[in-house]
Amino acid sequence: MNFSFKSLKFKAILLMLLAFISILLIIILGAFMMSIESHINMLKFILFGVSLICVTIISLLFHFLIKSILIPIDRVSKAMEKMAEGDFKQQLSISGDNEIGAMERSFNLLSQKLLSTYDLIEKVNSGESFEHTFEYVFNTFKQFIPYNRIGMAVIDDQEEIIRAEIARSDNVKIHLRNGYSLPLAKTSLKQVIESGQPRIINDLKKYKARHPHSESTHLIVKEGIQSSLTLPLKVNDKCIGVLFFSSIHKNTYNDSHIVFLNHIASHISISFEKSILVGDLILAAITGFAKLAESRDNDTGRHIERMRNYSVAIARQLANYPQYFDIITEKYIRDIHNFSPLHDIGKVGIKDSILLKPGKLSPDEFEVMKTHTLIGAKVLEKTQEVLKNKDKNFFTIGIEIALFHHEKYNGKGYPYGLKKEQIPLSARIVAVADVFDALTSKRPYKSAMTVEKSLEIIIKEKGKSFDPDVVDAFLQSQAEILKIYRSLSDDYSELQTSG
């Protein structure tokens, strides 16, 4: 607060000065009256008036002390007491545009900060989904910390890459989107991760000039971002990724932001780890069950791995198409990764005489076979109910995949004969992966086809059985698909060893 004539300091000095002059005047006048023993009424009257003014000024000083300082301080101290007792919902009305007002404003901010942080902790503890938690942080802490964008990137230990996980921005257009990945060794983030120390860049344009090949900087500058604060995300001392707070203004960040943001970052890491961990536990159990089910008509667990990898490869490719930007998030890809292997879990309900029949199924038998989609969805719905997982949508993608992976784009599939976008995208993706894998694999009722022949069939079915976009994405990721096929194909390894 500057020294202005609105400030209490100014008013207090002025009043004290006036009071001092008043007291001086009273003393001088008193001495004067006593010394001259005057009988002039006029003079007496004037002396009386001046004394009255002096007394008024002194009373004003006391009034000011009580009303402008003591009462507001008392209110702040009472509110502070309540806050110490744990009642963070304390808001004071601002008594004026002065020092006390500034104190009241700081107090209100402190109480809001505590309340929001407390809410965040509660959300994390109660197992609120990571996406909701992230959204909450973006919307809530704006009032305390300057930012226009929050992004998070996660380390993939296996692949030694760092991948943008999620971002929220005031801007309509996010260029540095989720899924964007870089080899860890190639980014400047390595320093943040290894040192565990936050990094502030207060002029990204200048930074970009010095690092002309940093694509991530290029993308973020294109979004209009000018400064950023990067914090390591740690769980039990292990760095799992980084959190970016960024602003469209230059020179936004300084060390004073770090303590509070580190605090936020630790809650975000816990929320993220928690969501992954709980999911992993549930999925480990279910996937074990699925493997058991698969083993009846599939001799190895490789089918499960291939399905997963084909589906993820297609989804990653599709994520580059603008029309899927908002749909295919990192969470979506994780769901595809986790649930695509469960697509045929309903086969547990199909008896051996049908499932393992060496020859062609009769129409009646095929009708029974078709129910594996309905059974699979039921199994996952029941699991969802039994687990009472807080996240009611945990199995949604899994259920979609199990139920709809035999629907066809032209409406000629089963169980419901849905068409085009009526079929969930997850199921449209898995359908292509499933058929490609079925074609290139040996089954009790068929031998394996070559990759070339299988690709031909997929291409022929574009727009008929399959979503044309999904087939395009599949074909664009052919190199990756073949790599998966080669590394995981039973037949290919047989060919390799026998030939």
Q: Which is nearer to Fe ion, 344 or 467 (CB)?
A: 344
Q: Tell me which long-range contacts 160-166 makes (C-beta under 8 A, separation of at least 24).
A: 160/184, 160/185, 162/187, 162/189, 162/193, 162/241, 162/242, 163/330, 164/330, 165/241, 165/272, 165/330, 166/131, 166/134, 166/329, 166/330, 166/331
202 forms part of the interface with ligand SIN (CB under 6 A): no
Beta strand extents in 125-283 (DSSP E only): 149-156, 161-169, 181-183, 199-201, 227-235, 238-247
The one of Fe ion, ligand C2E, ligand SIN, none whose footprint includes residue 400, by CB under 5 to 8 A per kind, is none
Please check whether residue 238 is in contact with residue 288, taking contact to mean a CB–CB distance below 8 angstroms.
no
Q: Which does 357 bind (CB under 5 to 8 A by kind): ligand SIN, ligand C2E, Fe ion, none?
A: ligand C2E
Task: Name the closest residue to ligand SIN (Cβ).
Answer: 151
Interior/surface letters 305-325, b for 16+ CB within 10 angstroms, e for the rest: ebbbbbbbbbbbbbbeeeebe
CA atoms within 13 A on the CB side of 127: 10
Q: Any contact of residue 437 with Fe ion (CB under 5 A)?
A: no
* Total of chain residues touching ligand SIN, rule CB under 6 A: 19
Q: CB of 201: closest distance to ligand SIN in angstroms?
A: 6
Pick the closer one to ligand SIN by CB: 294 or 330.
330
**Per CB under 5 A, does 294 bind Fe ion?**
no
90 binds ligand SIN (CB under 6 A): no
Q: Any contact of residue 184 with ligand SIN (CB under 6 A)?
A: no
Of 328, 319, 137, the residue nearest 243 (C-alpha): 137
> Is there binding between residue 407 and Fe ion (CB under 5 A)?
no
Class of residue 430 by CB neighbours under 10 A (exposed 0-12, middle 13-18, buried 19+): buried
Using CB under 5 A as the criterion, what x/- string covers residues 318-357 for binding Fe ion?
A: --------------------------x-------------
The token duo for 287 is 């996937």
Placement of tokens 């104190």 in the chain? 103
In the bound state, the residue with its beta carbon closest to Fe ion is 344
Rule CB under 6 A: which residues touch ligand C2E? 297, 357, 360-361, 369, 406, 434-435, 438-439, 443-446, 457
Min CB(406)–Fe ion separation in Å: 6
Count of residues binding Fe ion (CB under 5 A)? 1
Q: Site residues (CB under 6 A) for ligand SIN?
A: 151, 153, 162, 164, 167, 176, 180, 182, 187-189, 201, 214, 216-217, 220, 228, 230, 244
Q: Site residues (CB under 5 A) for Fe ion?
A: 344
